[in-house]
Chains A and B, each alone.
Chain A
């Protein structure tokens, strides 16, 4: 059975008295321990989709099942990382992580929670910065803390909404590799189920088992593509292979053919 089942999800907004369909009959499924990326250009509804999975938005029609049960609101089995503002600015990195742990392990003592926080901050390489406030950390460091918190909460599912979208190219690469190695683990533990929203094709290929490509206005699933590369993956080795380039070109042409059809066909020079 799949971990997450998205069934005929439709979301309508009314803005300035105009009805506007953000998602139109979106369906796909995510298997247990699967890493699925949702990719598409801005405004295709991918973030709306994720916000419904998070439980902070509600669909007009359709539903999402997690372990067979319909999602109603937020849930303790889902951890979330946003692009911005995931952290509470008045808490240090350590307190932010411990606060997350408190919500899932209310019986743990304060000392235990801080211990867990320290362990996960170490995993993301921030043990020296644990007593800093978010305003004292760079954007990349803040996202590391957000990832540490999501992992420390040890939820079955991780929902990530363009977590590296605002990070510079070099740090993004580092963070992608960090996430990859933390998620792949050493094979002794069951992997988490991840839904990862991005607009970066290379990021999607490197990380995912499956890529769900979306098109905009209204948001629909355009293609679902399995990523054929073996794990554990290594970026440097992967990008040198012919298979990678072929696969990447295929994805790019799919991505652009969609845009071309949207804006009126061949006469448009891209």
Chain B
């Protein structure tokens, strides 16, 4: 890549604009903690310059720069609308500096809440997948059981798992177990449906090539049918993951005493919209990070397809 392509990018212009607008005097009364925004932007800019020098693939660099550019642009608008021009309600939309400051001050609390949320997700999600995949393999192998189970799983999968919460609360001892149960259901049905569909759609020619090799039943299931249905299993797993996050944060907003949903709900009840925004940003970052890891895993396990 040429020097121009590496370093002469719009993202750096946006960085400079973001710095420059901090020279405008504040219209919003009180401290807006602009220095936090500047430090954050400088950190991100340094990271951008380092990666610009290191990344080899132009596409990867473009993606990163575009995302950073979006963040800078968003911060410019946010800063202007709040601290500098004061055109939106400061009680609902605090300036970015305040949010960054709160994020740093609350870091221990946030960390504990992330761990709490992730613990529940992981437990419910893994349990759902670990039960659904073998069951789907088994059911999908029989055409009759598989077609019946497909309709049944469509019926249960269509019911938003959040409606099970009242039953969960009536039947299970703790809020944590209710959340795990609901996430289990949210994962179980789509993964089961995906696995069965994958198994039933394995190309007959693939099965025939395995048959003529004389593979035994166990190899047929785990070395042939399982990998052949993996793409569709992943579709179910993806769906389960997305729904799990939505469910968990909603559930936490209903009755939890910990977790990211609880963090948001608790502070918004007190009208603390700085912390509400902190919670929103953290949830977003956590979900993006988890999907990133999940995509990496998927790309690795399905590397033969690409």
Query: A residues engaging B (CB < 8 A)?
Result: 54-56, 74-76, 78-80, 82, 84-91, 99-100, 103-104, 133-135, 153, 159
Contact A87:B227 (CB < 8 A) given known A103-B214, A133-B304 = no
Q: Could you tell me the distance between the alpha carbons of A134 and B205 in the complex, rounded to whole angstroms?
A: 15
Contact A86:B209 (CB < 8 A) given known A74-B214, A75-B214 = yes
**What is the distance, in angstroms, from A53's C-beta to the closest C-beta of chain B?**
10
Residues of B within 8 A of A82 (CB): 205, 208-209
Check if A135 sits within 8 Å of B305, measured CB to CB.
yes
Q: Could you tell me the distance between the alpha carbons of A56 and B227 in the complex, rounded to whole angstroms?
A: 22
Check if A85 sits within 8 Å of B214, measured CB to CB.
no
Residues of B within 8 A of A153 (CB): 213
Given contacts A54-B212, A103-B214, 20 further A-B contacts (CB under 8 A): A54-B208, A55-B212, A56-B208, A56-B211, A74-B211, A74-B212, A82-B209, A85-B206, A85-B209, A88-B210, A88-B224, A89-B304, A90-B227, A90-B228, A90-B230, A91-B304, A99-B213, A103-B213, A133-B303, A135-B306
Q: Could you tell me the distance between the alpha carbons of A85 and B230 in the complex, rounded to whole angstroms?
A: 17
Residues of A within 8 A of B35 (CB): none
Residues of A within 8 A of B106 (CB): none
Give the size category of B's interface with A. 20 to 34
Q: Could you tell me the distance between the alpha carbons of A103 and B215 in the complex, rounded to whole angstroms?
A: 6
**What is the distance, in angstroms, from A194's C-beta to the closest C-beta of chain B?**
15
Please give me the residue from chain A that is nearest to B203 by CB atom: A85
Q: Does B107 lie at the interface of the complex (its beta carbon under 8 Å from any beta carbon of A)?
A: no
Q: Does B223 lie at the interface of the complex (its beta carbon under 8 Å from any beta carbon of A)?
A: yes
Residues of B within 8 A of A55 (CB): 211-212
Check if B212 sits within 8 Å of A78, measured CB to CB.
yes
Q: Could you tell me the distance between the alpha carbons of A23 and B255 in the complex, rounded to whole angstroms?
A: 70
Residues of A within 8 A of B215 (CB): 103
Some 26 contacts from A to B, beta carbons below 8 A apart, are A54-B208, A55-B212, A56-B211, A56-B212, A74-B211, A74-B212, A75-B214, A80-B209, A86-B209, A87-B209, A88-B206, A88-B210, A89-B304, A89-B305, A90-B227, A90-B230, A90-B304, A91-B304, A99-B223, A100-B213, A103-B215, A104-B214, A133-B303, A134-B304, A135-B305, A159-B212
Residues of A within 8 A of B213 (CB): 74, 80, 99-100, 103, 153
Q: Could you tell me the distance between the alpha carbons of A135 and B208 in the complex, rounded to whole angstroms?
A: 19
Within 8 A of A (CB), among B265-306: 303-306
Residues of B within 8 A of A134 (CB): 304
Please give me the residue from chain B that is nearest to A78 by CB atom: B212
Q: Could you tell me the distance between the alpha carbons of A133 and B301 in the complex, rounded to whole angstroms?
A: 13
Please give me the residue from chain A that is nearest to B209 by CB atom: A86
Check if A135 sits within 8 Å of B212, measured CB to CB.
no
Check if B214 sits within 8 Å of A88, measured CB to CB.
no
Q: Could you tell me the distance between the alpha carbons of A78 and B219 in the complex, rounded to whole angstroms?
A: 19
Residues of B within 8 A of A74 (CB): 211-214
